[in-house]
Amino acid sequence: MDARSLVEIVDRLEQHAVDVWLDGGWGVDALLERETRVHDDLDLVAELKHSERIIDLLDDLGYELVDGAPPVSFVMVDGRGRQVDVHPVVFDTEGRGVYEMRDGGQWIYPAEGFAGTGSVASRPVRCLTPEVQVLVHAGYELTDKDYRELYLLREQFGVDLPEHLLEPVARAGG
Give domain status of residue 30, yes or no. Answer: yes
Give domain status of residue 139, yes or no. Answer: no
Give domain status of residue 170, yes or no. Answer: no
Packed helices 51-60 and 3-15: angle between N→C axes, nearest 10 degrees: 130
- What pLDDT does residue 161 have? 82
- 23 φ, ψ (degrees, to nearest 5): -130, 175
The DSSP 8-state label assigned to residue 105 in this structure reads -
- What pLDDT does residue 142 have? 82
Give domain status of residue 159, yes or no. Answer: no
**What number of other Cβ atoms are within 10 A of residue 34's Cβ?**
12
> CB-based contacts of 168: which residues, under 8 Å, 6+ apart?
142, 147
76: closest CA among 89, 91, 61, 90?
A: 61
- What pLDDT does residue 70 have? 96
125: closest CA among 1, 12, 31?
A: 31
Give domain status of residue 150, yes or no. Answer: no
What is the residue-level pLDDT of the chain in tens, covering all 174 positions? 999 999 999 999 999 999 999 999 999 999 999 999 999 999 999 999 999 999 999 999 999 999 999 999 999 999 999 999 999 999 999 999 999 999 999 999 999 999 999 999 999 999 999 999 988 877 667 888 888 898 899 889 998 887 777 777 677 775
CATH code, domain carrying 93: 3.30.460.40
Give domain status of residue 41, yes or no. Answer: yes
The DSSP 8-state label assigned to residue 82 in this structure reads -
Give domain status of residue 162, yes or no. Answer: no
Angle, vertex CA 99, rays to CA 79 and CA 148, nearest 5: 65
Give domain status of residue 82, yes or no. Answer: yes
Q: How far is CA 85 from CA 14, 92, 161, in A?
A: 17, 22, 25
Query: How many domains are there within the chain?
Result: 1
Angle, vertex CA 97, rays to CA 158 and CA 14, nearest 5: 90
Structural domain including 88 reads 3-129
**What number of other Cβ atoms are within 10 A of residue 95's Cβ?**
13
- What pLDDT does residue 31 have? 97
- Tell whether omega for the bond before 70 is within 30 degrees of 0, i.e. cis: no
